[in-house]
Amino acid sequence: MPARKTKNAKANPRAKPGLAPTGVDLAAIRESIDDIDARIQGLLNERARFAQLVGISKTASGKTVDFYRPEREAQVLRKALERNKGPLRDEEVVRLFREIMSACLAQQEPLKVAFLGP
């Protein structure tokens, strides 16, 4: 997905947190962040729906299936690192993608309920 340009001035990366540089509209920056967050959430939900379809296709054969595939996880993480142009560090990108994959994997596996008792 191409980066979206905002109508805001470029912020000073050395500015102290919580202080808006002169000439930068903090409310507009926050509005842009909220817009990006909404798009990220929509894309995460779209990814989860596709993960559900993967789970359905895996169980369609009626055989016992290993939903977690470490080689697929490694492939996704390699691609994420190749795309990473910063400012997030590679370690942060890996952590975020692992969380995303974990949440999506939970969409594939049928719910398991365990209880103690007769």
Domain spans of the chain, in order of start: 26-108
Q: Which ranges of the chain would DSSP assign to H, the alpha helix?
A: 26-59, 70-83, 90-108
* CATH of region 26-108, choose from 1.20.59.10, 3.40.190.10, 3.30.360.10, 3.20.10.10: 1.20.59.10
Per-residue pLDDT of the chain (118 residues; tens, 9 = 90+): 444 444 444 445 545 555 555 678 999 999 999 999 999 999 999 999 999 998 888 888 777 777 888 999 999 999 999 999 999 999 999 999 999 999 999 988 766 677 787 7
Handedness of CA 47, 53, 56, 58 (dihedral sign): negative
CA-nearest of 58, 50, 54, 101 to 78 is 101
Distance CA 105, CA 107 (A): 5
